[in-house]
Amino acid sequence: MKTKYSKISLLLFAALLIHACTAFEDAADVKKIEYITINLKTNFEIQGLENFSNLKVTLNNYDEGIVIEKPFARDLSIGNLIPGIYDILISGRAEDVFGESFLMSGSLEKKALLADGENILILADGVNVKPLIFKEIYYCGSKTPSNTNWFRDQFYEIYNNSLDVIYLDGLYFANLYPIAATATLPIWPETDGNKYVYADRIWKVPGNGTDYPLAPGESFVISQFAANQQLDIYNPKSPVNCYSSEFEFNMNNANFPNQPAYDMLHVFYNGKADMTGVQYLTSVFGGAYVIFRVPEGEIYDPENNPELQTKNLASGSTIYGKIPVAYVLDGVEAVDNDAKAQYKRMPALLDQGVTTVGDTYIGQSVARKRIGQNPDGTPVLQDTNNSTEDFDRNLIPQFRRYDSKMPGWNHTLSGN
C-alpha cells in the first residue's frame, strides 16, 4: 500500500510542476504595461480669471482604484497614467483680476484615456463666492408653554465664506425700512436715485481694527438677547440657547440683563445713537437685513451728517439712515410669505429674491445652502444674490450649521 501511494504522489507532484511551468511561461508572454501622457486644457466660462492657486485637478479610475491629484494649470501635462476609464474633475477656487473669488467646477465622466499624447478639453464654470455673508437668520420667534409669543430668541449668523482672515471690527449691521414688507411703500428723495438703502436701525461691531478676527470657515452670531432662551424664566420651548453668541444687541434694559457676549454698538435710530432701555428686535414677519463696511478713508456718521439722513416723503417725521449701496457686503430680504415678494425694500443688485418661513412664532429659521467645502472640510455657501434660491426654509434654528467653526475669541472659549 505504501509503494502504491508513493507512486501516486510522485505523479501528482509532476503534474503540478508541469502546470506551474506552463503558467510561468504564460505570464512571461504578457505584454509590459505601456504608460501614457495626456495634455489637459481648460476653457472657463468666466472671463478674467488669473489666480488658480486654490484649484486642483483630480483623476479617478474606479476600476483600478487609482486617484491622482494635481495642482491646476490651464495647460497641464499628466504622465505615467495606466490606460483606462477615468473621471476627470476640476474643483476649488479661482480669483479674477479684481480679486473676486469663484467656486469652480468642470468634469468629464467615464473618459477613455488610451492614446499617448491625447489632447483633452474641459469646460469649467463657477459661482461668485462673497467673503462675508448671512448664513442663518431666525426671526419669527416661538411659542411659550402657556402659548404666548416669544421673540427674544432672534439671531443672525454671519459666515466667512472666503479663504482669508476677515477682521470684523467696524462691521455694520442694519435692518431696513419698512421693517416688514408692505404694499404701502415709502417714497424716497428722487435725487438719491439707486445709490442708497434706508435703515430703520444701525449697529456696529466694536473693536480697534484687529480685535475680532474671523478665519475662513468660521461664523459669528449676533443675538437679540444672548441668554439661554430655554431657561424656565424665558421660554423652555424656544428652539435655541443663545448663550454662546459672540455678540448681542444689549440696550441696558433691566428686564434683559447684559450677557457675557460682546455688546454691539448702537449707531442710529430716528436720528440718534443713544437708545438706552429700548430693547431691539426685528419684525417677526421678516425684515430686510444688510451688513456693510465703510471704505478706508471715508467717514460714516448718520447721526450728525444730514446728508446721510432722510424721511419717508409719503408720510411721517421719522428719520432714516442712508446706507450707500456700494458699502453693502451682503443683503437678505425676508417676508411674511411669497405673495409679499413684490414689496421689496432693497434693490435687485443686493437681493433679487426673498426668503420666508411663512408664519410667525413657529420656531423656524432660514439657512443658506451649502454648495461645496474648503480643503479643511468647512462649508462653501451659496450666494447668487437671490435669497429665493440661496436659502433653505423652515429649518429648526441651529448655531454653526454644517459644522462651521467658532472663533477663538468667543467668550465660552476665552473665559471672558
What single DSSP character describes residue 407? Answer: P
Strand 213-214, strand 219-223: pairing: unpaired
CATH 2.60.40 residue spans of the chain: 36-129
pLDDT at residue number 7: 47
* pLDDT bracket for residue 129 (50, 70, 90): confident
**pLDDT mean across residues, the chain:** 90
CB 38 within 8 A of CB 113: yes
Kindly report the number of other CB atoms within 10 A of residue 129's CB atom. Answer: 22
**pLDDT exceeds cutoff 90 at 226:** yes
Third-level CATH fold of 36-129: Immunoglobulin-like (2.60.40)
pLDDT in tens, 40-70: 999 999 999 999 988 999 999 998 999 999 9
Query: What b/e string do you get for 78-107 counting C-beta neighbours within 10 Å, with b at 16 or more?
Result: beebebbebebbbbbbbbbeeeebbbbebe
pLDDT in tens, 188-215: 999 998 899 999 999 999 999 999 999 9
What single DSSP character describes residue 334? Answer: B
What single DSSP character describes residue 406? Answer: P
Question: At 274, which amino acid appears?
Answer: D
Strand partners, 158: 134, 220
**pLDDT exceeds cutoff 80 at 19:** no
pLDDT in tens, 307-338: 999 999 999 899 999 999 999 999 999 999 99
Question: pTM for this structure?
Answer: 0.80
Closest alpha carbon to 118 in 88, 151, 95: 88
